[in-house]
Structure 1
Amino acid sequence: MPASQTPQANFSLLLPVYAGDNAEYLRLAFESSVDQQTLKPAEAVIVQDGPVPEALAAELERIEAESPIPVRLIRLSENRGLTEALNAGLDACTYPVVARMDADDVSSPERFARQWEMIEQGYDLVGTGMQEFEQDPASPSAIRVPPVGPERIRDHARTHNPFNHPTMMYRLAALDRVGRYQPFGKMEDYWLGVQLIADGARVENIAEPLLSYRVGSGAFVRRGGWAEARTEWKLQRELLRMGFVTRAQYARNVLMKGAYRLMPAGVKRVLFRGFIGRGLPGDR
């Protein structure tokens, strides 16, 4: 079937871009999430979070001009961070369902078709598994397999983020009920997921890796340090306050997850892939 005749569904693609993104990676991300999808979004909302380099600005203009679906380019005058950029994008979305995408990842062709099928069954949030890669999406280094089933997702959420944020597809009405994205360091997605679960939203994951996630050399450095540890402890206090975890679970999480945030990057990489993701053969 020609690309122009590929079926579309009534959902928006939400893709934030900032100065640190790469123009070539953005092109791959957009093409994989629009041109190559077996089920296309009805529109793309791209949020330019502050000024960007010339090459990236040119790529945004090319996408806007050549996209096979309508593109709404929201330009923020200054860099406001991911939380505000995503909320600005949600405000601009025309459709009641939104699919997330980052500017340096690659979606599998059947990703949206698989997620949309579950949205049509009544789910409010559907995530998927994802595979990590450094240079070539066809050569993944690890697979992150999310928990599947409402009970397993809720149990997992007491200790770890149960959703891979770049893979999310969700109903705007469900996000509106919990206040959409809220400032929470680099854990705004974890906090959003917990709030949705606590609010009674129907959530599910597809175990298969339907997105390839680009991992840079500094990924595990960014997951650590005192700032990240303090955010982790703040999150745990909120989980305790709302009754999402018991006092015993809170104490365990503060100790273990705080220690994890303060570990050297190399140690975190091994632990993360051993307990959060599933390493591929030869990855360990």
Structure 2
Amino acid sequence: MSKRLPQHFPVELSIVIPLLNEAESLPELTRWIHRVLSAHGLTYEVILIDDGSTDASWEVIEDLSQEDIHLRGIRFNRNYGKSAALNVGFKAAVGRVVCTMDADLQDSPEELPDLYQMITHDGYDLVSGWKKKRFDPLSKTIPTKLFNGVTRWISGIQLHDFNCGLKAYNHRVVKSIEVYGEMHRYIPVIAKWAGFRRIGEKVVQHQERKYGVTKFGLERFVYGFLDLLSITFVSRFKKRPMHFFGTVGMLSFLTGILITLWLVGEKVYLASQNLKARDVTDQPLFFLALAAVIVGVQVFVGGFLAEMVQLNGPRKNQYLVRDKLNLE
């Protein structure tokens, strides 16, 4: 099934699994992964990131690592969140393809070989799982559909399930992006803005939770929407803040000026017709115009300062080179 592996990839597939208090599911999950990937002849590594578990998860990982040479473990000192766990796992991964999945057995390892094929043979940069049939209550599925619809509209990426933990990436993607805060929901958006536009989707099996309880509540949808606005803004304007702040500032300034000119023009016209006219400064609209001018100037200056900071800041990872020919 697999092609000959290039020398600089020690394994064909890296599976990055963040976890929090999943001691019961880990033995079954790792055995399942080993059984599937061994049957398909894929070389692999499993990277388990313990995100500050308070149960026996780390002890289980230590025991499993004695039995399974493919298993690697990383333990956080405290709970930092799924994004931090994925970011650390991406940095540690050495496979040609990197897959992510949850540790609660709701993601099936049976999907991993097909995801690997979609990256290596079909040429996708990223493939996201779509849990078309879910075993979740309506209180979770309805907000999820709304959340995914808004994300599709804002990002322009036609995926049905942005929050599915089962995803596959070309190694170049995970080595070129940084996942922070709560941005793990929007890795496809981050990848797209980094220039990786071949994003695909695969219907995957969703299973009922076998052990433990979910670690996420409904508040994740509120935080998720705010994170979407943040990543969209930062992705579009982090290299050119003046384009945003300058445009908003100029529109506000010009609106205030036009209102003022209208009020002055109206005053002159009424006076020329010997009609009674209120003083410009006695009209509430004048103060609205004055506020618009002041705000416009402040926002414009803010954009100018942001541009200076950006231009004088570090240039690390500013440009991502895709290929090189005849260069050392």
Q: Place the TM-score, normalised by the shorter chain, in its bin.
A: 0.5 to 0.7
Cα pair 1:13 1:43 within 8 Å, conserved: yes
Q: Which residue of 1 aligns with 2:13?
A: 11
What corresponds to 2:219 in structure 1? 222
Secondary structure, counterpart of 1:77 in structure 2:
coil
Alignment RMSD, CA only? 3.8
Please show how residues 226-265 of structure 1 align to structure 2 within 5 Å. Answer: 227-228=223-224, 230-238=226-234, 241=237
Name the structure 2 match of 1:181.
Answer: 179
C-alpha contact (below 8 Å) 1:132/1:214 kept by paired residues: no
Q: Are the counterparts in 1 of residues 152 and 158 from structure 2 also a CA contact under 8 Å? A: no
Q: 1:233 to 1:214 in 2, by over 3 A?
A: farther
Alpha-carbon contact 1:15-1:102 (below 8 Å) kept: yes
Cα distance in 1, alignment partners of residues 49 and 224 from structure 2? 25
Q: Please give the secondary structure, in 2, of the residue aligned with 1:50.
A: coil
- Change beyond 3 A, Cα 1:96–1:120: closer
Task: Report if the CA contact (8 A) 2:173-2:191 is conserved.
Answer: yes
Higher relative contact order (CA 8 A, sep 6+): 1
Q: Distance in 2 between matches of 1:26 and 1:75?
A: 15
1:105 match: secondary structure: coil
| Higher share in helix | 2
Secondary structure of the equivalent of 1:96?
A: strand
In 1, are the aligned partners of 2:14 and 2:46 still within 8 Å (CA)?
A: yes
Q: Is the 8 A contact 1:167 1:211 kept in 2?
A: no
Give the unaligned 5+ runs of structure 2: 1-10, 146-150, 239-243, 245-328
Map of 1:62 onto structure 2: 63
Match of 1:34, SS state, is: helix
Query: 1:263 is matched with which residue?
Result: none
User: Cα distance 1:221–1:233, how it changes in 2: closer, same or farther (>3 A)?
Assistant: same
2:116 aligned counterpart, secondary structure = helix
Match of 2:200 in 1: 205
CA distance in 2, matches of 1:109, 1:48: 19
Higher mean C-alpha deviation, range 233-242 or range 21-30: 233-242
* 1:193 alignment partner in structure 2: 188
**Contact 1:98–1:169 (8 Å) recurs in 2:** yes
- Mapped partners of 1:196, 1:48: distance in 2: 25
The structure whose Rg is larger is: 2
Aligned in 2, Cα 1:235/1:202: closer, same or farther, shift over 3 Å? Answer: closer
Q: 1:94 to 1:213 in 2, by over 3 A?
A: farther
Question: Could you give the per-residue CA deviations for residues 251-270 of structure 1, whole angstroms, max 9, x where no partner exists?
Answer: xxxxxxxxxxxxxxxxxxxx
Question: CA 1:236/1:116 → structure 2, altered by over 3 Å: closer, same or farther?
Answer: closer
Amino acid at match of 1:182: Y
CA distance, structure 1, for counterparts of residue 164 and residue 128 of structure 2: 8
Q: Distance in 2 between matches of 1:238 and 1:91?
A: 22
Residue deviations 1:204-250 (CA, integer Å, cap 9, x gap): 4344224437495785523345x5554344345346647xxxx9xxx
| Structure 1 residue 53: Cα displacement | 1.6
Within a 5 Å distance, the mapping from 1:66-215 to structure 2 comes to 66-67=67-68, 69-108=69-108, 110-121=110-121, 122-130=123-131, 131-133=133-135, 157-158=155-156, 163-177=162-176, 179-183=177-181, 186-190=182-186, 192-212=187-207, 214=209
Deviation of 1:44 (Å) = 0.7
Contact 1:134 1:214 (C-alpha < 8 Å) held by counterparts:
no
Letter of the 1:199 partner, please give it: A
Q: Which moved more, 1:96-105 or 1:24-33?
A: 24-33
Letter aligned with residue 187 of structure 1: M
- Give the TM-score normalised by structure 1: 0.60
Q: Measured at CA, do residues 73 and 129 of structure 1 come closer, stay the same or move farther in structure 2, by a change above 3 Å? A: same
Indicate how the Cα distance of structure 1 residues 63 and 85 shifts in structure 2: closer, same or farther if over 3 A, else same: same
C-alpha contact 2:124 2:200 (8 A) present in aligned 1: no
Q: Counterpart amino acid of 1:45?
A: I
